[in-house]
Amino acid sequence: MKLPGTRFRTLLAAATAVVLLASGCSDDAGSGSGGKEDFDVLFIGGVTGPSATTVAATTKALDAAAKSINEGGGIKGRNVVIKIKDSQGDARRAVSLLQEELSGNNLPDVVIPSGTSAEALAMVPLLTRSKITSVAFGASPLLNDPQKYPYHFQSVPNSAAQLTGLRKHLESKGAKRLGLLVSQDEYGKGVVSAVKAQLEGSGIEVKNFEFVPTDIDLSVSYRRMLDANPDVAYIDTTGDAATRLLQARVQTGAVNIPTIAGSGMSLTAGGPFKYGSPEANKNLEILVFKVEVAVPEAQQSPVFKDFLARYSGGQPIQNSLSTPSLAWDQLRLIAAAASVDGALKDLPTSLVESIYNLKVADGYWLTEKQYTYTKDKHTPTPTPDDFPFIPSVAQVNGQYQVNK
């Protein structure tokens, strides 16, 4: 039976009102949220390729964090949904995948542009033009540029902030000349800049060298660094190149020189003790996140216990907890900011303002005491003891057993 025209229009108007009430009556139902049922987070990174191990830990932790957040009510009642795209570790492919996602109808609410600086630096300009908020733990200082990238935030202190204790540590060793060998990429550039900034005016001479991270044999580059006669060496890279860099240390007979492996190497595949030979680990220290250092169970926070149970699933953890704990904090940073009243009303501006003003209880984070950002600084500032130098030792359940 046909409905009379007037009655049909009345029912249609009533139905439309119900839909509007269901999808958009809160203060967060403005142009940013679009009345979506889910809160969509897009991750683009090297699921396959040289950073596959790190990305596997990242995505597993993101999934664990999403489940924890959703069980707690989600973000303003919206479930967090993680979408993962494989860049194969290629920055150009990462940009291509991002372009595909941004050309669709269902835009992500937030993007996590990889875990590497090179891929993040390739994607962030496009995210800026598209006015999409992004959070990632690429640590290059070039990513901390609020004027250039007003919607991007680092969840890891940049290389310079991680190295605040370097000068004092080297001075305690009586170092006069530091040999610095890093990968020839954006990550390596950030490390060089950070080391030089921290040692400026110290009297410690820095001789820096680079290697191509895809080269099989890194001994030639290592010898070039040794020719500068350093009394301490600082080496750093990420992914599979970390193994070859330690091999080069043995091949060049450099194991008697006190050496520090940077946080990129401590984050990789269980740390140097696992992927390097016993010879390669002689006289080797590593720069780590404090969360990587084991503490007794009685001293573990409730948030850490929740994270550990969800991430491990009751199984032994093979690689460092730094990467998954950073990913966990990263998603919880997004969730905490997005859950503030009005944070989703006018994206990206409203969410950015929420990040600036975010306050959470002590113990909320795994990797920092507090995450704080300002309009002039989009990278967190660690406390002095957040990045200790420790001997290269074994990990058990993802944590270094320094006191064992």
Confidence of residue 128 (pLDDT cuts 50, 70, 90): very high
* Predicted pLDDT at 35: 59
pLDDT digits (tens, 9 = 90+) for 287-321: 998 888 998 889 899 999 999 999 999 898 887 78
CA angle 268, 59, 39 (to 5 degrees): 145
What's the token pair of residue 148?
């250039």
* Predicted pLDDT at 270: 77
Instruction: Count how many Cα atoms sit within 13 Å of the Cα of residue 377 in the half-sphere of its side chain.
Output: 13
What residues have CB less than 8 Å from 53, skipping those under 6 apart?
239, 268, 269, 319
Q: Which of 70-74, 253-257, 395-399 has the lowest mean pLDDT?
A: 395-399
Do 370 and 157 touch, CB atoms closer than 8 A?
no
From residue 131, give the alpha-carbon distance in Å to each of 102, 124, 260, 272. 11, 10, 40, 39
* Predicted pLDDT at 21: 29
CA 344, CA 335: separation in Å to the nearest integer? Answer: 11
What residues have CB less than 8 Å from 140, skipping those under 6 apart?
117, 120, 121, 158, 159, 186, 187, 189, 190
Percentage of the chain beyond pLDDT 90 is: 70
* Predicted pLDDT at 31: 37
- What are the backbone dihedrals phi and psi of residue 389, each rounded to the nearest 5 degrees, phi first? -95, 125
Segment 238-253 mean pLDDT: 95
The per-residue pLDDT of the chain, averaged, comes to: 88
Between 105 and 94, the more confident residue is 94
Segment 78-92 mean pLDDT: 97
CA 223, CA 242: separation in Å to the nearest integer? Answer: 16
Q: Which of 56-70, 213-227, 250-264, 369-383 has the lowest mean pLDDT?
A: 369-383
CA 254, CA 326: separation in Å to the nearest integer? Answer: 33
